[in-house]
């Protein structure tokens, strides 16, 4: 059984919650920064394409302008019992007019340094897209 770990971090962006929400919750928005391409099937299954790999997930929970949580479809029996997921929460600071992205990444990527590098790169891409 693979050991999964919850990695959490947050990032500050100079963009509104309303502007950012489509980038964390829609196939079109996610394909601009999170993966090389993201498609969604009629059954609402998101397919994330990275290089020559793909993973499928379902948007299991969301609240408009607050958060989106994707659960990856199981690839093994262990995954069925303990599915991997990622959740992105948006928290606005009215005083500074900034938004914080809170990342929750539950996966078998056990190296915090590797997780940090992965998310730092992704958020750098997102900032480039939204100008934040």
Structural domain total, the chain: 1
The pair of three-digit structure tokens given for residue 52, joined into one six-digit string: 């020559």
Q: To the nearest whole percent, how much of the chain has pLDDT over 70?
A: 98
Residue 120: partners with Cβ closer than 8 Å, 6 or more residues away: none
Q: Could you list the residue range(s) of the whole structural domain that residue 90 is in?
A: 5-130
pTM of the model: 0.92
Strands 53-63 and 98-107 turn out to be unpaired
Give the bridge partners for 111, in sequence order.
Answer: none
The CA distance from 113 to 83, in Å, is 22
**pLDDT tens figures, 56-92:** 999 999 999 999 999 999 988 888 999 999 999 999 9
Confidence of residue 2 (pLDDT cuts 50, 70, 90): low
Q: Which CATH number do you get for residue 114?
A: 3.30.530.20
Confidence of residue 1 (pLDDT cuts 50, 70, 90): low
């Amino acid at each position: 059984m693979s050991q999964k770990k919850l990695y959490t971090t947050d990032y500050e962006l100079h963009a509104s919650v309303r502007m950012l929400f489509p980038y964390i919750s829609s196939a079109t928005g996610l394909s601009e920064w999170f993966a090389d391409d993201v498609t969604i099937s009629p059954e609402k299954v998101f397919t994330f394409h990275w290089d020559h790999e793909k993973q499928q997930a379902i948007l299991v929970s969301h609240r408009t302008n607050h958060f989106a949580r994707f659960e990856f479809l199981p690839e093994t029996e262990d995954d069925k019992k303990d599915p991997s997921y990622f959740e992105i929460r948006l928290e606005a600071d009215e005083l500074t007019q900034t938004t914080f992205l809170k990342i929750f990444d539950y996966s078998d990527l056990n190296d915090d340094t590797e997780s940090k590098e992965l998310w730092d790169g992704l958020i750098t891409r997102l900032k480039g897209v939204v100008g934040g």
